[in-house]
Amino acid sequence: MSKIKIGIIHNYEDKTMALLPRLEKLLVERGFEIDPKEPEIVITVGGDGTLLSAFHHYAERINEVRFLGIHTGHLGFYTDWRDYELEEMADNLKENPWESVSYPLLDVGIEYSNGEEVHYLALNESTIKRPVQTMVTDVWIDDEWFESFRGDGLVISTPTGSTAYNKSAGGAVLHPKLNAFQLAEIASLNNRVYRTLGSPIVIAKEGRLTLTLEEDAEYLVTVDQLDLRHNHLCSVTYQVASERVHFVASRHMPFWERVKEAFIGEKL
């Protein structure tokens, strides 16, 4: 029987670097193989930002890997284990390495005025803004014009990303079992010329959101932590991706418990 291959992605903080040798030793002792090139399980050590980096590092193999997060600080949304639980994590992983839970991703399609198209996957969100000026864009849902937006920008998020920038922009928190994505406005301007719905919009799995842009303007598009400056954009299209992200479910905290712990805490 072949060994399960594990890749480790980590930050470079002192606390993280100190525990890496012990983590690798525990995994090898329990019969796993360390293989960062073609892993079946990717363990991240750091925080949610480290897991986002790992997600994009393995984006081309996203349906072939499962993620497991170890947090060296406070518990994050994508990290189920703490740095002092390495032995328990390794034992748990050995006993049940295959059970997983999957969540939807966002497909971000960028079209340029010359007809070129590029695609990205987002685990949390994508935003679009003008670097200096107010952004003006027409919003289309399923090829039907919906509204004209004028303001600082827009944030389009996955359910798991709905607790991040989307929440700060007034968006709703969506359970990740929903195959959907969400549009939230960032400081919209409403007057007699520009009038938007003014509330978050949740779009179902089969839906498609398209933003048509001014081709001679510069835009800043983000995909999770990736910052992409673009000129000569024609449109950006968002939809639920055909790919999904998979997490090892050996100890995966329920979503609403995670939300409560992050934002509310215990009842006084």
The residues that are catalytic are: 48
Pick from 102, 105, 54, 48: which is nearest to 249 by CA?
A: 102
Question: At what angle are helices 86-95 and 14-29 packed, to 10 degrees?
Answer: 40
- Confirm if 13 and 46 have CB atoms less than 8 A apart: yes
Start-end of H helices in 68-227 = 86-95, 165-168
| Cβ pair 35, 5 in contact under 8 A | yes
Cα distances from 148 to residues 152, 156, 182, 228, 245, in angstroms, run 13, 16, 17, 23, 33
Residues contacting residue 260 through CB under 8 Å, at least 6 positions apart: none
Residue 212: other Cβ atoms inside 10 A = 17
Identify the bridge partners of residue 111 per DSSP, sorted by sequence position: 117, 235
